[in-house]
Copies of this chain bind each other. A is one copy, B any other.
Amino acid sequence: MARTYRDTVTTPAAARSGRPGARPFVSLLSDFGSRDPSAGIMRAVIVGICRDASLVDISHEVDRFAIRDGALVLWSAVPYLPVGVHVAVVDPGVGTERLGIVVETARGDFLVGPDNGLLLPAAGRLGGIMRAHALENPLYQLAPRSTTFHGRDVFAPAAAHLAARVPPEAFGSPLDPRQLVVLDWPEADIRPGWLGAQAIYVDGFGNVKLAALADDLTEAFPGARHGERFLAGIDSVAGRRTLTLEWAEAFGRVHPGVAVLITDSYGRLTLAVNRGSAAAAFGIRPDTPVALTRAGPPPRR
Chain A interface residues toward B at CB < 8 A = 12-17, 19, 22-23, 25, 27, 29, 32-37, 40-41, 43-45, 47-49, 51, 54, 56-65, 73-74, 76-77, 80-82, 92-96, 142-143, 146-149, 152-153, 157, 160, 203-205, 249-253, 262-265, 275
Contact = CB atoms under 8 A, between A and B. Distances in A.
A92 B252 CA distance: 8
Contact of A37 (B34, B77, B250): B77
26 contacts: A12-B45, A14-B44, A14-B49, A16-B48, A17-B48, A19-B51, A34-B61, A35-B203, A35-B204, A40-B56, A40-B57, A41-B58, A41-B76, A44-B56, A44-B58, A44-B77, A44-B80, A64-B205, A80-B152, A92-B251, A94-B250, A94-B252, A95-B252, A96-B252, A148-B263, A153-B265
A204 B33 contact: yes
A48 B275 contact: no
Nearest to A48: B14
B59 A40 contact: yes
A73 B157 CA distance: 21
Contacts of A252: 92-96
Contacts of A142: 12-14, 80
Given A51-B22, A250-B148, A143 B62 contact: no
A82 B16 CA distance: 28
Q: Which 8 A-B pairs have the closest CB atoms?
A: A95-B250, A149-B265, A14-B48, A146-B265, A40-B58, A96-B252, A33-B204, A35-B61
Contacts of A45: 12, 14, 80
Contacts of A17: 48-49, 51
A69 to B, nearest CB: 9
Contact of A34 (B60, B96, B250, B264): B60
Contacts of A65: 275
Contacts of A80: 41, 44-45, 48, 142, 152
Contact of A152 (B34, B43, B265): B265
A23 B47 CA distance: 10
